[in-house]
Amino acid sequence: MYRADENVFYLCKLLTAWIYYNIKNIKIKIKSIILLNVYYGKRGLIFKFFFGKVNFMKHYCIITIGCQMNKSDSERISGYLEEVGYKEEKERNNADLIILNTCGVRQSAEDRAYGLISRIKKENPNAKIVLTGCLSERNDVKRRLKEKVDIWLPIIKLPELSVKLGIKGKKFDEDYLKILPKYNNQISAFVPIGNGCDNFCTYCVVPNARGREVYRQSDEIIAEVKNLVKKGFKEIILIAQNVNSYKTHNTQHTTHNKELKDIYFVDLLKMVNDMPGDFWIRFATSHPKDMSDDLIKAILDCGNVCEHVHLPAQSGDNEILKAMNRNYSRDQYLALIKKIRKKIPMASITTDIIVGFPGETKEQFNNTKKLFKEAKYDMAYIARYSPRPGTAANELVDDVSQEEKKAREDELMKILRITALKNNGKYIGKIVDMLVEGKNKKGELYGKTVTNKVVKVKSRKLKVERDRIGEFVKVKILNVRDFGLEGVILK
Ligand code: SAH
Ligand code: SF4
């Protein structure tokens, strides 16, 4: 469906009024008014017929499935499409162009994409469908969806989208990460520091889907952050599949980095931290094999860097870790946790775990349970193993039943609730900084602490506090739950 720019509609309304008052013949009058008011007709033909080369504005809708990196990519797709003349439309059935940013990390995410495409085809059959993200380079997916998808777009090919859409005259840099994003909110922004992964964990589709690791130049990242801070953003989240392997050659010898030859993640973190402004810095994800003492020290020393480490363990059993190609042992992982807790006692630690990896016995799973109890996580994303085409583990038999995977997930969840609640207990009566992010349906403000804990504000002065969204405030914690805190704003 095509929809004209608001100005064109305004013009048509005026024209309708003009016809109404000026044409005397009632038949011509009615016919003209009907024609002009017909719902802009199939593909805007009626408007085109009347106005010749009217510049019809097309509308896009992006549907994002998956991780932070996909969310961030969608912001770049948005920025790009607006640059080539499209306008955002939240309701997918009103859009001319639908971009489905897919995730292939688990079968469930893949199935969501299939379901969505079928629904879109039924509800908005004239829309063009662009498929990007994890599934865009899978040949089996291309065969399955060849009738339904109009444009296949691996995200690094984003700069070529205008050509595929038949738009002439716009040139873009070859590197899609250089495209200016349209951020989803005004408080918190993802800033990708690179793309891809070289680790080849045997269960994981990311190295195939996103390709090898490529990192952005530090000056480009700094410029993006500077712009965000200037606009008033309060939380900068540096993201990559494995931030710890960030490395670029120093091309700009500024006061920050003139003695550096190569720039590593810790250097980048310090550079971002040293920028003037009142903002927090988060980063994800850290691969345990690459988490250095320098990074732990940097979290402690850099005033703007939040005390939260997301450290995916994936398993607590050495044999499974080896079969996963994670390159660390259970003891090495636990030693790392111990070190972080000792150096940064208030730090919260979160993780990703996979249950039911091929061949995972009850005993091996018990080792993961023990790891859970020892690590005392604040939060964990527990996934049931899902065989992925093109990965090394796909050659192994997926022999742990769905029921057993679910039971193992539940067991870990139980432990997590206990450790998280206990960790949160330390906050009772404490005064902590919080970034106010929004308000819930009841009108209560909510936000996050530096340790990434969600806080709900209890207050009767809702009207006054509503204005504080996007601000740092002090809250006194009065109550805790397993995955959240409750408190009152002090100032
Ligand atoms: N780069 C990050 C995570 C990327 S994928 C890291 O190194 O940890 C996000 C999470 O999805 C992974 O941490 C893992 O727990 C989960 N995951 C990846 N592949 C999976 C699979 N085949 N089955 C189930 N969970 C999977
Ligand atoms: Fe996947 Fe492993 Fe790379 Fe994370 S580190 S993206 S789990 S291959």
- Report pLDDT digits (tens) over 384-403: 999 999 999 999 999 999 99
Q: Say how far apart CA 355 and CA 407 lie, in whole Å.
A: 9
State yes or no: pLDDT of 133 exceeds 80: yes
Fold of 185-300: Transcription Regulator spoIIAA (3.30.750)
pLDDT confidence bin for 467, thresholds 50/70/90: confident
Q: Can you name the residues that pair with 379 across neighbouring β-strands? A: 350
Please say whether the dihedral angle defined by the alpha carbons of residues 387, 392, 398 and 404, taken in this order, is positive or negative.
negative
Ligand 2 mutation pick, 195, 201, 213, 245, max ligand atoms within 8 A of CB? 201
- Looking up tokens 């009772």 gives 428
Strands 431-439 and 194-195: unpaired
Kind of pairing between the strands at 431-439 and 445-449: antiparallel
Question: Which amino acid appears at position 353 of this protein?
Answer: I
Give the per-residue pLDDT at 108.
Answer: 96
The average pLDDT across 442-467 equals: 83
- Cβ–ligand 2 distance for 201 under 6 Å, the answer yes
> At 123, is the pLDDT very low, low, confident or very high (cuts 50, 70, 90)?
very high
| Distance from Cα 312 to the centre of ligand 2, integer Å | 10
**Sign of the C-alpha dihedral, residues 87, 88, 92, 94?**
negative
Regarding the beta carbon of 287 and ligand 2, being less than 6 Å apart is answered yes
Q: What φ, ψ does residue 237 adopt, rounded to 5°?
A: -110, 110
Q: Out of 1.20.1740.10, 3.40.1350.10, 3.30.750.200, 3.30.9.30, select the CATH number for domain 307-424.
A: 3.30.750.200
Q: What atom in ligand 2 is closest to the CA of residue 285?
A: 4
pLDDT at res. 3: 47
**CA of 287 relative to ligand 2 center, distance in Å:** 8
Nearest atom in ligand 2 to 326's CA: 2
Is the Cβ atom of 326 under 6 angstroms away from ligand 1? no
Summarised one tens digit per residue, pLDDT across range 26-43 is 777 777 666 665 544 444
Q: Which tokens go with 416?
A: 């997590």
Ligand 2 touching residue 353 (CB < 6 A):
no
| Confidence (pLDDT) at 36 | 63
| 70-79, 148-157, 169-178, 345-354: segment of lowest average pLDDT | 169-178
- d(Cα 40, Cα 54) in Å, to the nearest integer? 12
Q: How far apart are CA 48 and CA 264, in angstroms?
A: 55
- Residue 124, pLDDT above cutoff 90: yes
* Least confident segment among 173-177, 319-323, 466-470: 466-470
Q: How far is the CA of 196 from the centre of ligand 2 (A)?
A: 9
Instruction: Give me the residue spans of the domains in the chain.
Output: 6-51, 58-176, 185-300, 307-424, 431-489
What is the identity of the amino acid at 64? T
| Two domains, one topology: 185-300 and 307-424 | yes
- Residue 419: CB within 6 Å of ligand 2? no
**Residue 352 Cα to ligand 1 middle (Å):** 7
Give the separation between CA 375 and CA 355, rounded to whole angstroms.
17
| Between 34 and 180, the higher pLDDT residue | 180
d(CA 269, CA 366): 37
Q: How far apart are CA 249 and CA 128, in angstroms?
A: 41
End-to-end alpha carbon distance in the chain: 51
pLDDT of residue 170: 76
pLDDT at 254: 58
User: Which residues, 6+ apart, have CB-to-CB distance to 175 below 8 Å?
Assistant: 159
Q: Does residue 285 have a cis peptide bond before it, meaning omega lies within 30 degrees of 0?
A: yes
Could you give the C-alpha distances from 185 to 71, 144, 326, 432, in angstroms and in order?
Answer: 12, 35, 35, 24
Short-list 137, 94, 142, 145, CA closest to 116: 145
**Mean pLDDT calculated for residue range 12-28:** 71
Mutate to test the pocket of ligand 1, among 110, 265, 285, 352 (most ligand atoms within 8 A of CB): 352
For residue 310 and ligand 1, the question of a CB distance below 6 A is answered with no
pTM of the complete model beyond 0.85:
yes
Q: Is 287 in the pocket of ligand 1 (CB under 6 A)?
A: yes
What the block records as the tokens of 410 is: 């539940």
The answer, yes or no, to whether residue 47 has pLDDT greater than 60, is: no
Would you state the structure tokens that stand for residue 483, as one six-digit string? Answer: 């995955």
Tokens describing residue 190 = 């993802």
How far is 413 from 381, CA to CA, in rounded Å?
9
CATH architecture of 58-176: 3-Layer(aba) Sandwich (3.40)
Q: Express each pLDDT in 301-350 by its tens digit.
A: 999 999 999 999 999 999 999 999 999 999 999 999 999 999 999 999 99
- pLDDT for res 168: 82
**What pLDDT is stored for residue 443 in this prediction?**
84
- DSSP letter at 56 equals P
What's the 108 CA to ligand 2 centre distance in angstroms?
A: 18
Task: Give the separation between CA 253 and CA 265, rounded to whole angstroms.
Answer: 17
Task: Output the pLDDT for position 10.
Answer: 59
Q: What average pLDDT does the segment 163-192 reach?
A: 91
> Across residues 273-292, what is the average pLDDT?
96
Q: SS3 sequence, 429-442?
A: CCEEEEEEEEECCC
66 Cα–ligand 2 center, Å: 14
The first and second tokens of residue 480, run together, are 């805790």
The overall average pLDDT reported for the chain is 90
Which pLDDT value is given to residue 391? 97
What is the 3-state secondary structure of 371-427?
HHHHHCCCEEEEEECCCCCCCHHHHCCCCCCHHHHHHHHHHHHHHHHHHHHHHHHCC
199 touches ligand 2 (CB under 6 Å): yes
Which CATH class, in words, describes the domain spanning 431-489? mainly beta
Question: Closest-lying ligand to the alpha carbon of 108?
Answer: 1
